[in-house]
Amino acid sequence: MDLIAIAVPFFLALILAEFIYGVIRGRNTYRLNDTINSLSMGSLSSLSGLMIVGGSALIYEFVVDAFALTQLSADSTLVWITTFIFYDLAYYWKHRLGHEVTLFWGSHVSHHQSEDYNLGTALRQTSIDFHGFLFLIPFFIAGVPGEVLVATVSLNLIYQFWVHTQHVPKLGPIEWIMVTPSNHRVHHARNDQYVDKNYGGVFIIWDRIFGTYQDELAEEPAVYGLRKPLNSWNPLWANTHVYWRLLVDFVKIKGIKNKVQLLFKRPGWLPEGYVKTCKATPIDLRSKYDPPVASATKAYVFGQFLITVAVSLSLAGLASLASPVELWAAAGFIVLSLFTHGYILDKRRLAAPLESARLILAIALALLLPLGSTLSALLGYSAAASLIVLGISIALQRNILGAGDQEIRKGDVSEGLAKASV
Ligand SMILES: [Zn+2]
Ligand SMILES: [Zn+2]
């Protein structure tokens, strides 16, 4: 049973509820561009999981068969509780190494790029989780049944959803034991004293034991995001930017020992005498990446994004019905769509031609792919209507996709809160 797939509709409903609550209370923590970007990262992540489905299961079966491991009973409550607690310990170390080892940071960085902090941020997950299974090997060897492990990993992740909010204050004695909104806000902050703290998934006790705990301080409101901001709404670049810089440095530096160290040292490490490829431009850490976009453009991208989400959600249902070619074609279209939505919000020069090409492709796919009649009609007709709207806006020289100059950073978060701009 895929618990995360069951949880997704609840996640989306809670995101909407948090947005409405924030607007009513005058403390909206959502921006349209950031929310689309976070949810795009979530879609890509589940898409990559879908396309390599069974990978972990195969490794699991191989290890269990190869070593003829005895299996514990899935009916034992003790097995479930012990697995849950020890998996959280394993998660602590996976997460900590995800921050402290460059090779793993390149994967985990995706979760930290948002300069807002809301339930949408929770769905911002990597598409390149190539090392997660290493932390499961001890459980394979201990004989934890596959279904217990899969459920435990899912429950751990589902728990982490609700802590991504600015609306819940400190929770008294619970702060001592559990990961809470307050102590996880610290984890997402880029303030000097908050960086690389509070790695726990469900229990915060691991941070207290291993010396990485930091309390949220009233005099130091959290400012969210990376210390070297991404400055882009491109979800593909968000997944790969650290690896690109790592590759450039890896090729540049001399000596095999230095190259190996580069992969396993902390992010930003270079051997003596080398200058960083990625020079951190000094920025005001309290400002946010927010290229100004017209309301019509926002409404247009939001509408297209909803259609992309509908296609993404339907793909999971299609996985067993469609041929691999159809599945890859649909997945490719979703990736292209998420990329294009970000490209428009980034105010890139070729947004209009790229979007036109994507809409023509959407019509072709609606005719060719077995997406189900309702979804095909939605995709085909909406793409045709969008093409007409786009054509008219260009003909009237009021191109709703805009063009040109990118304003890099804008915004004021003096109260640690985002402006209402959805
Ligand atoms: Zn983290
Ligand atoms: Zn988080």
The count of domains in the chain is 2
Judge if 169 and 300 occupy the same domain.
no
Confirm if 342 and 113 have CB atoms less than 8 A apart.
no
Mean pLDDT for 191-200 is: 96
Please give the span between the terminal C-alpha atoms of the chain, in angstroms, as a whole number: 35
DSSP string, 312-336: HHHHHHHTTTS-HHHHHHHHHHHHH
Expressed in angstroms and rounded, the spacing between residue 118 Cα and the centre of ligand 2 is: 10
Please give the pLDDT value at position 284.
Answer: 73
Among residues 133, 150, 173, which one ends one of the domains?
Answer: 173
Domain contains 104:
yes
Helix (H, G, I), strand (E, B) or coil at 8: helix
Domain contains 138:
yes
Among residues 144, 173, 202, which one ends one of the domains?
Answer: 173
Domain contains 351:
yes
Indicate if the alpha-carbon torsion angle 64, 66, 67, 68 is positive or negative: positive
Q: Which ligand is nearest to the CA of 95?
A: 1
Tell me the per-residue pLDDT of 119-148, one tens digit each, with 9 for 90 and over. Answer: 999 999 999 988 888 898 899 888 898 889
Domain contains 216:
no
Write out the residue range of the structural domain in which residue 132 sits.
3-173
Expressed in angstroms and rounded, the spacing between residue 207 Cα and the centre of ligand 2 is: 15
Domain contains 257:
no
Rounded to two decimals, the pTM is 0.89
Tell me the per-residue pLDDT of 374-385, one tens digit each, with 9 for 90 and over. Answer: 778 888 888 998
Q: Which ligand is nearest to the CA of 199?
A: 1
Expressed in angstroms and rounded, the spacing between residue 184 Cα and the centre of ligand 1 is: 9
Tell me the per-residue pLDDT of 242-289, one tens digit each, with 9 for 90 and over. Answer: 999 999 999 999 999 999 999 999 998 999 887 765 555 556 777 899
Expressed in angstroms and rounded, the spacing between residue 163 Cα and the centre of ligand 2 is: 8
Q: How confident is the model at residue 60 (pLDDT cuts 50, 70, 90)?
A: confident
Expressed in angstroms and rounded, the spacing between residue 158 Cα and the centre of ligand 2 is: 11
Please give the pLDDT value at position 299.
Answer: 93
Domain contains 153:
yes
Q: Given a cut of 80, is residue 6 above it in pLDDT?
A: yes
Q: Which ligand is nearest to the CA of 124?
A: 2
Expressed in angstroms and rounded, the spacing between residue 397 Cα and the centre of ligand 2 is: 43
Give phi and psi for 255, each to the nearest 5: 95, 130
Domain contains 272:
no
Alpha carbon separation from 264 to 137, 254, 257, 267, 364 (Å, rounded)? 20, 16, 11, 9, 46
Expressed in angstroms and rounded, the spacing between residue 128 Cα and the centre of ligand 1 is: 15
- Percent of all residues in the chain with a pLDDT value above 70, rounded to a whole number: 88
Expressed in angstroms and rounded, the spacing between residue 98 Cα and the centre of ligand 1 is: 7
Distance CA 233, CA 37 (A): 6
Judge if 315 and 169 occupy the same domain.
no
Q: Which ligand is nearest to the CA of 183?
A: 2
Tell me the per-residue pLDDT of 351-363, one tens digit each, with 9 for 90 and over. Answer: 999 999 999 999 9
Please give the pLDDT value at position 279.
Answer: 56
Distance CA 300, CA 352 (A): 12
Among residues 141, 173, 205, which one ends one of the domains?
Answer: 173
Distance CA 96, CA 94 (A): 6
| 17-31, 44-58, 91-105, 382-396: segment of lowest average pLDDT | 44-58
Judge if 167 and 300 occupy the same domain.
no
Domain contains 251:
no
